[in-house]
Structure 1
């Protein structure tokens, strides 16, 4: 006889949505979280919002966001590298998710100032990710879900497409836990630098990990080794440009920088290397981690001037400033002559005259440069001048396990598993073959978490 109806591995948004959904069906649910209680929740601790389709404006959303528009945005950021049928299903189920997750105690607020272009598409959590997470934990525990912290899954007994038990290690030793159904919702492997190197090589040594050091992908490895189908590759991930002064782990949302569209980005050779105005920021901010990763020393600098300081959310760390471009270059340890030439050439190429608007492509561009800035081009000419040093910040990886529309894991031979389910970052690669749009990670976790919990409960029945 099983010890539990449903065993959930993980402690973030996806895991809690699965646990709550199963518990609401009357099932006995155990959640095992590898991290200590303070660090519970993985990347959910650092989130601010989630992206859901909706038909009209609300008290916290400024307008409608249709399923078709959501799907078009997803296709654009992934360049079509997604399971279209699965993604359309997720988007359709994101509409009722706004109501369902509020029923679990989560509250929303209007878009935060400085969060460029998100007020219509994304719902912001009142109090941020930790507040959202705390609400889900309160609801889960109120439904009788048992939570065990510092309990790491180190072994899985999977035979003939069926989960039988998990070996879990805690301070008290090792324990075998049997369950009628298993939900893997324990994140990616971004904290395993050696695994990242399989996709990125030695560059990964310079990557910063935005979340905790507990997401090492041990369950992902065990599932694949046990015959579950792998999707994705080790080089695909949600990677953004974050403040280079952030700690190696757990810097979180406060180290992210949203000011790229307001200036220019140069590498350590003081040269620009990509169009900073390619598209609306929430649809393109996640390309900058990969871009910086391919620059010398995996480092770059965002450069802007005084009028842009109030237009974005700053990092935890203050920008580096100077009264002249040459002095700024010296502080950044860049060649002053090359740096000054890069900025002056950019300024001379700016063709402006249209209203400056960060909520839409404004057509203010440059002409004649090897790499033109196609929107939001404005001269960097008003001192003081500012810079943020940035490095690649890895949020989560896309290599994971294949699932079907019921969040059921698919085996390597294409057959569905019997009682294995997955939600969140561990299966995000089904939707995100590459690229990212702001808030979609939370959508994947919540939608597939709810499905996984309900389907696991149905399997037990």
Structure 2
């Protein structure tokens, strides 16, 4: 019998598998996807948010625990378990050396990744390189890996894990188990059920795009909740960003994100602005824009900039719609021309000049305009003008399983002795809402490593108990 069974193939699952194997356990990892699509959403990531008290290799200055916590507290609005959040924060300060031993390399921030040189460590080659490195290391250490093996249910004896059942009908037993199979973001039926019908009679989720893997359908999450596992989080809350409306339904990844929002204005299909584009630095606010667009008519918006903004943001994969005048841009985007020109003219008139500096919270703002733009407000008056259509892009959902410091799944408030969970399936303990760049990887890495360690301990304890029973039976 296998000591530790890991279900999933992303960052959290791989961290769990590696830690369990390093602890001496035999490990089997089941990945639902084919080998070429392995890695879950982690293959689309770029960086890890890291606490550090002083400059460290690719990280400049300092990013102390309390500042990290305050950043997380701000984006979640207090919907976070401080005890678990601080575990992830502290773990982020000392995990990189371990990551390097498994083949992960880091690099300085990319030139288009503003404001994160101090807070985030970037993976050389991105998330795909990271998961490939982990898979290589796992194979070298003797972790058994099986692809194309979706798990559809978990067999329990009360709160104790017994076995899993695969989609192919195979029953696999293990002494302990780590679940790290992702959220339900690619289950469009579940998303639609969660979001329901809005006041305009629309089903918003029908217009959502999925930034990540198509394999995260939440099958195990639902199975565990149905089996009595304690859940946490709102099913409508997610890491949801504004991405190019022309992106593919699945696996668009980082390159479909539109990063020029704070440099211009965003309007809905009625050509009206609806939120402060300059509220804070982009890495702290990019993840609110998907939900904002989801609340607009038709779940669509348009990011509008002029020539002055070009070169100041990471260019998206699709080119913007270009026009030499505002009326022409409105027509090309299919927006009401008069309303669009009126919105831009009102914004331009409200801009109060200062010293524009997109690397700081500058003094360029609007006056007498609702909603205000509090930073980086410059008139959109220099042709050519550019427009990018926006749709909500779901990265991962926050509904998950409740855990403790040992990442154990809870049933009726009691932790399971041998069933653990990591990654998206428990991130809602820390992320009740909101997001800040790189924190998902911090949570997955911290609790993946914890879950793997605890699963190995549980397996060792189970073997010890079995040995004692066998000895007692022999003596009898």
The TM-score normalised by the length of structure 2 is: 0.94
TM alignment of 1:42-81, pairs within 5 A: 42-81=40-79
Aligned match of 2:292: 291
Q: Indicate the RMSD between aligned Cα atoms, in angstroms.
A: 0.9
- Distance in 2 separating the partners of 1:200 and 1:277: 28
Compute the displacement of 1:174 (Å). Answer: 2.1
Compute the displacement of 1:168 (Å). Answer: 1.3
Determine whether 1:232 maps to 2:243. Answer: no
Determine whether 1:190 maps to 2:189. Answer: no
Contact persistence 1:198–1:234 (CA under 8 A): no
- Distance in 2 separating the partners of 1:63 and 1:228: 42
**Structure whose CA Rg is larger:** 2
Determine whether 1:200 maps to 2:192. Answer: no
TM alignment of 1:3-402, pairs within 5 A: 3-169=1-167, 173-201=168-196, 202-354=203-355, 356-402=356-402
SS state at 1:90 partner = helix
- Distance in 2 separating the partners of 1:364 and 1:79: 26
Aligned match of 2:199: none
Alpha-carbon displacement from aligned partner over 1:407-436 (angstroms, at most 9, x marks no partner): 11111x111111110000000000000000
**Structure 1 runs of 4+ with >6 Å offset:** none
Alpha-carbon displacement from aligned partner over 1:61-102 (angstroms, at most 9, x marks no partner): 222111111000000000010001111122111111122212
- Distance in 1 separating the partners of 2:125 and 2:33: 22
- Distance in 2 separating the partners of 1:326 and 1:58: 50
Compute the displacement of 1:57 (Å). Answer: 1.8
The TM-score normalised by the length of structure 1 is: 0.97
SS state at 1:312 partner = coil
- Distance in 1 separating the partners of 2:76 and 2:12: 22
- Distance in 2 separating the partners of 1:381 and 1:62: 37
- Distance in 2 separating the partners of 1:57 and 1:327: 49
Aligned match of 1:432: 431
TM alignment of 1:450-461, pairs within 5 A: 450-461=449-460
- Distance in 1 separating the partners of 2:82 and 2:410: 17
SS state at 1:174 partner = coil
Contact persistence 1:117–1:358 (CA under 8 A): no
Alpha-carbon displacement from aligned partner over 1:159-218 (angstroms, at most 9, x marks no partner): 21100001113xxx3211000111000110001111112221211000000112110000
Aligned match of 1:443: 442
- Distance in 2 separating the partners of 1:99 and 1:199: 40
- Distance in 1 separating the partners of 2:170 and 2:241: 38
- Distance in 1 separating the partners of 2:55 and 2:244: 34
- Distance in 2 separating the partners of 1:422 and 1:358: 40
How many residues are treated as equivalent by the alignment? 454
Contact persistence 2:354–2:362 (CA under 8 A): no
Compute the displacement of 1:358 (Å). Answer: 2.3
- Distance in 2 separating the partners of 1:403 and 1:196: 23
Aligned match of 2:470: none
Structure 2 regions of 5+ residues with no counterpart?
A: 197-202, 461-476
- Distance in 1 separating the partners of 2:90 and 2:263: 34
Compute the displacement of 1:302 (Å). Answer: 0.3
TM alignment of 1:415-426, pairs within 5 A: 415-426=414-425
